[in-house]
Structure 1
């Protein structure tokens, strides 16, 4: 009997092909749009996080416990060379970068601006190289070279090969500084970073601050940034006299963004599904009202309320589950295509750069999301069926037959 009810439900779906087709297409497009939007937002957040990790916030940073308070140059990492050798033996660490840091003032004949001065090793690679627009990175053959952002260059009114004076505090607390020559100009995803950071040779910066080969910051990159807390706890126990900071502690807004990504995906999909649910309920109510006499006849010849209820539920589920798998498949194709090629939003580059967002978005979704969406659509289809099916079993068979005569 159940098989007959299923067949009857399937036939009833196609009694009005146009109306059923509209609902199926709505479910298809709604599923596609919801999944693709979720992938788009996920790709945007992932790109934002990757950009921040690449340039501004390391996965893990090791400093002197008192250094982060005021960037006091005298608070360097003790026994840094030994520490670096120990860290290099960790399989879970993919890259290690060292820096000397100072807060100071960048001056040109036209203007001045407060900046963070980052002393990096000239012979080592740095992610800022990926954003160079003019010139080159630092080298040991140059004398007091500096690489600055395009925004800072515009503010100071200088360009390549221009002279730039940097003033900052030395280890004795006195104001010191030096003249540097611009050898490179970068333009990254973040206009704020470009305007407030300059890169110089670590030996040059250390010499002016009164340091030898000391280091203020060791930045670590690991394969999976969400494992940073575990490694940081291990390093904190091993080196209790040092400050070990994870990206989530250094930038709580990034931690919040990461934690909200999953929730945001489902919120987008739930909003679209709610709209689809009301559309399906409206369609099924119309179908039930049009078939009042027929449903009354079925009740009159012996079909009980449970079977009538089940038949309407099957009709609703069929309407939903025909469109949903096609929508999921189309969304997978779309996400796969744009996940490789990217979506270019360079027309909005200025606004996106102000928030540190990439102008090319690569949509992506974890595979489990497709399964969860399938279950979510299935639940929505069952909920959509309840009210029309309930209205069906409220019909009085005799009144339903007479009503349509």
Structure 2
């Protein structure tokens, strides 16, 4: 009976009820879509970080990062480290590298760089540097040392494919240098990286410098969610090495993600506040317009609990209609933009400087549907409390005689 009365009441003023339904639908849609955009941004950032060779976790000599990538702090007993890692079933991929800071010089220009010695075959399992090559190809160990350098650095140095450059750095026995030939250029979303990092085959570095060093193990796991526990377990297995998660290596990215979470909270608070005010206003108007009717219902014996039920049921019906509409809109928009992507090229310069891709693909976590729906229902019912209190304060005689 109460449900039937509530259903009829909401359609007395169709336009007002439609406004509430559309408000709920919009709240659900904007909440889910913004959440999908945020999660898509997070996933894209993480992929960028993992795919640009950092990996989920890195292993270094305890002083290596502190000494700013000093060649003289390699990992001790890398074969033992490799054996421990290969025995761990949670690990998806392992790559080992020679990494050190140096200077790259031409006859006219020079620039500080980070030399990364890689095994090109193994590197393909972790990151996509080969897909970023604009000219030439990856370095290999079949000839004299060959280099892959960023387009930004190449322009600054004024070098072309086939040109020779000098690499010089501080080694165990003083300054050492070797000549390499530019074999290819790459361009990534990260302009800072393009200017700083050059790639050489790991075996070429070992031949030229006379060492068999490994400065870095980069690791990815099958499951990302348990990253902290995995890294803590690795630290116990390798107490003489230092284990770093990607958040420790690039804290600015992790801080950026946390800031995005805060922005999301503020944005959702604004959306839910606007939705709450809309529901309060609509339901309060509905109560005020039915003052005489409510007075009659009270006079013939309808208790306060029944009045409360009736108003809450009206809100529930409006919400129950609006939520599926909002979910449907989300599925359409996220489905489309999730495939096509949202191009942030308008802000390309700023975004690229931070090393992020300019294409974002919104993704909605299944749990987020549940969270937003629960939030909308809570906001709707909390917003109904004030109109209910206003209705319960009515005195039957005064309400009936109200013009």
TM above 0.5, yes or no, is: yes
Report what 1:231 is aligned to. Answer: 230
Please give the alpha-carbon distance, in whole angstroms, between the structure 1 residues aligned to 2:57 and 2:402: 75
Please give the alpha-carbon distance, in whole angstroms, between the structure 1 residues aligned to 2:320 and 2:268: 16
Please give the alpha-carbon distance, in whole angstroms, between the structure 1 residues aligned to 2:18 and 2:104: 66
CA 1:305–1:162: 2 relative to 1, 3 Å: same
Structure 1 unaligned blocks of 5 or more: none
CA 1:138–1:323: 2 relative to 1, 3 Å: same
Q: Does 1:66 align with 2:40?
A: no
Report what 2:15 is aligned to. Answer: 18
Alpha-carbon shift at residue 329 of structure 1 (Å) = 2.9
Aligned pairs for 1:247-326 within 5 A: 247-257=246-256, 265=264, 267-326=266-325
Aligned pairs for 1:41-60 within 5 A: 41-60=38-57
Q: Does 1:195 align with 2:192?
A: no
Q: Does 1:91 align with 2:89?
A: yes
Q: Secondary structure of 1:18's match?
A: helix
Please give the alpha-carbon distance, in whole angstroms, between the structure 2 residues aligned to 1:297 and 1:177: 96
Please give the alpha-carbon distance, in whole angstroms, between the structure 1 residues aligned to 2:66 and 2:350: 32
Alpha-carbon shift at residue 188 of structure 1 (Å) = 0.9
Could you list the per-position Cα deviations for residues 62-90 of structure 1 after superposition, in whole angstroms to 9, with x for gaps in the alignment? Answer: 22223333233233223323432442232
- Using the size of structure 2 for normalisation, the TM-score is 0.92
Report what 2:162 is aligned to. Answer: 161
- Using the size of structure 1 for normalisation, the TM-score is 0.91
Q: Secondary structure of 1:69's match?
A: coil
Alpha-carbon shift at residue 267 of structure 1 (Å) = 4.6
- Contact 2:103–2:111, Cα closer than 8 Å, also in 1: yes
- Contact 1:170–1:210, Cα closer than 8 Å, also in 2: no
Please give the alpha-carbon distance, in whole angstroms, between the structure 2 residues aligned to 1:367 and 1:165: 53
Choose which of 89, 99, 102 in structure 1 pairs with 2:100: 102
Could you list the per-position Cα deviations for residues 148-190 of structure 1 after superposition, in whole angstroms to 9, with x for gaps in the alignment? Answer: 1112122222232233222211112x22222222111111121
Please give the alpha-carbon distance, in whole angstroms, between the structure 2 residues aligned to 1:184 and 1:57: 21
Could you list the per-position Cα deviations for residues 198-239 of structure 1 after superposition, in whole angstroms to 9, with x for gaps in the alignment? Answer: 11122232344441x221111111112332332323332222
CA 1:306–1:167: 2 relative to 1, 3 Å: same
Please give the alpha-carbon distance, in whole angstroms, between the structure 2 residues aligned to 1:251 and 1:122: 24
Q: Secondary structure of 1:160's match?
A: coil
Structure 2 unaligned blocks of 5 or more: none
Aligned pairs for 1:110-129 within 5 A: 110-126=108-124, 127=127, 128-129=129-130
Please give the alpha-carbon distance, in whole angstroms, between the structure 2 residues aligned to 1:188 and 1:106: 20
Please give the alpha-carbon distance, in whole angstroms, between the structure 1 residues aligned to 2:185 and 2:45: 22
Deviates more, 1:112-121 or 1:156-165: 156-165
Could you list the per-position Cα deviations for residues 349-399 of structure 1 after superposition, in whole angstroms to 9, with x for gaps in the alignment? Answer: 222211222122111122111112111111111111111111112222222
Alpha-carbon shift at residue 288 of structure 1 (Å) = 1.7
Please give the alpha-carbon distance, in whole angstroms, between the structure 1 residues aligned to 2:88 and 2:305: 65
Report what 1:186 is aligned to. Answer: 186
Q: Secondary structure of 1:68's match?
A: coil
Please give the alpha-carbon distance, in whole angstroms, between the structure 2 residues aligned to 1:303 and 1:30: 34
Deviates more, 1:13-22 or 1:282-291: 282-291
Please give the alpha-carbon distance, in whole angstroms, between the structure 1 residues aligned to 2:269 and 2:316: 18
Could you list the per-position Cα deviations for residues 262-284 of structure 1 after superposition, in whole angstroms to 9, with x for gaps in the alignment? Answer: 66655533331211110111111
Report what 1:339 is aligned to. Answer: 338
Please give the alpha-carbon distance, in whole angstroms, between the structure 2 residues aligned to 1:68 and 1:306: 67
- Contact 1:38–1:266, Cα closer than 8 Å, also in 2: no
Please give the alpha-carbon distance, in whole angstroms, between the structure 2 residues aligned to 1:339 and 1:131: 23
Aligned-residue RMSD, C-alpha: 2.2
Please give the alpha-carbon distance, in whole angstroms, between the structure 1 residues aligned to 2:23 and 2:41: 26
Alpha-carbon shift at residue 12 of structure 1 (Å) = 0.3
Report what 1:242 is aligned to. Answer: 241
Alpha-carbon shift at residue 101 of structure 1 (Å) = 1.3
